[in-house]
Structure 1
């Protein structure tokens, strides 16, 4: 065999080994490392929006607007290969209307590990940003945290809860990250999702919902246009994380999502669902009414909406279930 033939054969064998080695390495990473750990990429982060749709349909009551907008926004952002900016969703409404619930279902649908995913980051206004005097430090730490995580994986979700309890100007630091930039300091944030939760605008949403009801507009016919401008103005002018914020001024929030105040029928569905979670399939009307007696209704004089939505109902259902369980069957309370 000539020297050229030997050289060619050696080169082919070397390349073959490299290809086999690379293929095995990729196979090992995707099927072993990522099976026990959590890897970045569309192969491993399989956002299941059919699952999200079902979770919202069966667990979120009276929030047709929020359900519809969240599903459409998440699907269109995730499926777009050329997103122009990070997706920004701002949830507003009274406590107990479903803001945290929907956020939880988003996490469960996007990541296999749900809330425990290393790609999910949850900030609480009163816990993580308690002191107004420390705003410069919060801004620096927040910027570095977001940048460091997105540098490792672009498919991240950042959740800011209790935005209305934050010192103002903290969130201004994320403006470049959610703006129309291909990269900021060599990092691309366009595949990220930022979710903001706030009670701000709750009274405005309730007032507008009541007004539409008096005008004869059915709840299911209420549209986003009835609320969005009211919410954005309220958020900009009320004390909190978005007070006179550059983010609001620059129109960088994609969707202000109103969570409508919950009526009797929606609260009843919450109660029945909570009983079912305790393996009580058919709670009696007496048991349901006893839980409803704990609820405060408003505004006056109509008293049409629960002031706390479905919040705190779990503890009340537990109390009632314990009271009746001894004298009734498990299946029928």
Structure 2
């Protein structure tokens, strides 16, 4: 059995990975992988000495282990997992008070696994997450990342851009746009299944439009047909609040509200780049019209308590005895008869870490 195991693993390594001593790998790496192989096959032997199927399965696991360690992340379904069922479960369990966001994220991303297998062309997915601080935009993006890519936020297929870090000089928007365009073209040529996140989009909408509009034109859209673009910003948060209060005043309940209720709250982004960016009122709005608008609503007390319980579950921490104290640490502001968390759940998360760790 031992000789058979050794033969199977050697054959699969050569056939599947083209790895051998000539590859220049260190002796310590080979020793580590050999140890893993031995352990895996010992378990297979214990389960059933006469089962060649179990042996092959075990050998396949070893091959995957070696490929992962030597080749790193690759553009295939082993690394781009597109776990849409897990995405749905986590969003519904953890993204508190944002039923509109959950609906639109799932509607757009729910077919990713099927699309990954399909060879037909798709439109790139363009999301615009907008709303106040602490309402869950970044958290929702993190949930998406964790369920689309095996490596999560450390995946080489996830790219985050922010104006302060990547585009600090406000006089260089046109130069930045050219560089960004070339970078994106190169990245999708290596693997089209990428997620591009533009944080603080309100402050760089001109730059992003200059870079992306030519890439997403009909003549080139196929190159980016399997990519996801996520634009996040706080633009329109005051209008979201005033719209929400008006709807509440008219007797609407929160769970009946839709994205259309807040369509005007977003306000213009294309061509209005904030006080600290140069702007061009003549920028075409074609790109913006293709956004899936996802408003994030201000959180009420019940939603903050939901955040607390959700975060406690993730930390495997019991917080019942601290719940009142932690909730009181959140600053609530009153608008007529309704109270909303000034900064959502951000401060709560810090308080919870102090309690649980």
- TM-superposed CA distance for 1:276, in Å, is 4.2
Give the deviation of 1:106 after TM superposition.
1.0
1-side partners of 2:249 and 2:280: how far apart? 32
SS of residue paired to 1:169? helix
Q: How does 1:1-333 map to 2 (within 5 A)?
A: 27-28=16-17, 31-32=63-64, 34-36=67-69, 37-42=72-77, 44-76=79-111, 79-80=114-115, 81=118, 82-166=120-204, 168-181=206-219, 183=220, 188-231=223-266, 233-236=267-270, 238-240=272-274, 244=281, 246=283, 248-284=285-321, 287-298=322-333, 300-319=335-354, 321=355
- Shift, 1:307, TM fit: 1.6
Deviation of residue 238 (structure 1)?
Answer: 4.5
Cα deviation, 1:3-26, whole Å, max 9, x if unaligned, reads xxxxxxxxxxxxxxxxxxxx9877
Change (3 A) 1:108 1:250: closer
Per-residue deviation at 1:103? 0.7
Offset, 1:282: 4.4
Q: Distance in 1 between matches of 2:142 and 2:217?
A: 25
Cα offset for 1:222?
0.5
| Alpha-carbon distance in structure 1 between the residues aligned to 2:67 and 2:212 | 30
Measured after TM superposition, the shift of residue 250 of structure 1 is 4.7
Q: In 1, are the aligned partners of 2:129 and 2:233 still within 8 Å (CA)?
A: yes
Please say if residues 197 and 231 of structure 2, whose CA atoms lie closer than 8 Å, have aligned partners that are also in contact.
Answer: yes
Aligned-pair CA distance for 1:162: 1.0
Shift of 1:45: 1.9
Deviation track 1:277-311 (CA, whole Å, cap 9, x = no partner) reads 45432422xx3232233322235334521121111
Indicate the residue corresponding to 2:53 in structure 1.
none
**In structure 2, distance between residues paired with 1:268 and 1:199:** 23
Q: Give the Cα–Cα distance (whole angstroms) in 1 for the partners of residues 100 and 312 of structure 2.
A: 26
- Partners of 2:89 and 2:324 lie apart in 1 by 28
Gaps of 5+ in 2: 1-11, 19-59
Deviates more, 1:85-94 or 1:310-319: 310-319
Gaps of 5+ in 1: 1-22, 326-333
Give per-residue Cα distances to partners, 1:200-252, cap 9 Å, x unaligned: 01111121122111111111110111122432x34347434897574634544
User: How many matched pairs?
Assistant: 294
> 1:88 offset after TM fit, Å?
0.4
Q: Which residue is equivalent to 2:34? A: none
The DSSP-based 3-state class of the residue aligned with 1:235 is coil
> Which stretch shows the higher mean deviation, 247-256 or 203-212?
247-256
Structure 2 counterpart of 1:12: none
Corresponding residue SS for 1:239: coil
Bigger CA drift: 63-72 or 129-138? 129-138
What corresponds to 2:55 in structure 1? none
Residue in structure 2 matched with residue 11 of structure 1 by the alignment: none
Q: Which moved more, 1:73-82 or 1:128-137?
A: 73-82
How far apart are 1:55 and its partner, in Å?
1.4
